[in-house]
A = this chain, B = another copy of it.
Amino acid sequence: MSQEEPRYQLVKDFIRKGIASKEWKEHKRVPSENELVDMCKVSRMTARRALDELTEEGVLYRVQGRGTFVAPKKLHSPLLEIRNIAEEIENRGAEYSNELILLQKESCPTHLLNHFGLQEGDQVFHSIMVHKEDKKPIQIEQRYVNPIAAPEYLKQDYKSITPNVYLSKVAPLTEAEHQIQAKEADPFMKVTLKLQELEPVLCIDRITWSEQTLVSFCQLYHPASRFSISGRFKTEHQLTEL
């Protein structure tokens, strides 16, 4: 097999294609080992190796006696997961609400032209909203959105869906970049987040992509006294470059 792919790779490709084409959606059972033996003309151990590796990669999950299923997709950052803030608030038994402060199309700010690959004068969508828990403001979200990635962004009802959830639907995230900073609060933040005198804000800048397309650049501001980011890690063995 000088230049051809190993047969277990061909089986993996077959499974991936079935998932990508939506033939098998999340939690759907994929063909069993024995079915793959017939479909791909391989041995059971070869089919099994393909399924084992896709499981290891998080594409599938297996249950003894039941089958092999498509795993749901999730953007994973050990320390900074991009979550549905409404769901998160509701999951801890509080009431979520938001206040939309701004939603419009405007010229792309100069400092973001490079990020979006735009020219002076080109337009992006811009939104500012405050997320609230039990009517108490906990986060200011300012977001610039690429019109190419989400042309209908301005037309959504953000009382019933958060920008994050909407964007996940129309331009599913495949990559994200974060930057965390402490910042002095400006007057707008002081009023909007009801900060104490001299209280700073924890700021998360987040750029997200969907495949090769930059989707949005957003900034999240949190009251320093009421917000922290945490995580826990264990030692992992890791290969140096070979």
Using CB atoms and an 8 Å cutoff, list the residues of chain A in contact with chain B.
Answer: 56-59, 61, 63, 71-80, 173-184, 198-203, 222, 224, 227-240, 242
Q: How far is the CA of A222 from the CA of B181 in the complex (A)?
A: 10
- Which residue of the partner chain B has the closest CB to A59? B237
Q: How far is the CA of A178 from the CA of B229 in the complex (A)?
A: 8
With A58-B239, A75-B235, A237-B59 as given contacts, are A228 and B198 in contact (CB-CB < 8 Å)?
no
Number of identical monomers bound together in the oligomeric complex? 2
- Write out the residue numbers on chain B whose beta carbons fall within 8 Å of the beta carbon of A78: 77-79
A151 → chain B closest CB, angstroms: 23
- Write out the residue numbers on chain B whose beta carbons fall within 8 Å of the beta carbon of A203: 182
Q: How far is the CA of A234 from the CA of B75 in the complex (A)?
A: 7
- Which residue of the partner chain B has the closest CB to A221? B182
With A58-B236, A234-B174 as given contacts, are A182 and B179 in contact (CB-CB < 8 Å)?
no
With A79-B80, A184-B199, A198-B198 as given contacts, are A74 and B236 in contact (CB-CB < 8 Å)?
yes
Most buried by B among A79, A182, A238: A182
Interchain CB contact under 8 A, A175 and B237: no
Interchain CB contact under 8 A, B174 and A202: no
Interchain CB contact under 8 A, B181 and A202: yes
- Write out the residue numbers on chain B whose beta carbons fall within 8 Å of the beta carbon of A201: 182
Q: How far is the CA of A231 from the CA of B179 in the complex (A)?
A: 7
With A77-B78, A177-B230 as given contacts, are A57 and B182 in contact (CB-CB < 8 Å)?
no
Q: How far is the CA of A72 from the CA of B238 in the complex (A)?
A: 7
With A78-B78, A79-B79 as given contacts, are A175 and B236 in contact (CB-CB < 8 Å)?
no
Most buried by B among A175, A179, A232, A242: A232
Question: Which of B73, B200, B230 contacts A237 (CB under 8 A)?
Answer: B73
Interchain CB contact under 8 A, B176 and A239: no
Question: Which of B174, B202, B231, B238 contacts A80 (CB under 8 A)?
Answer: B231
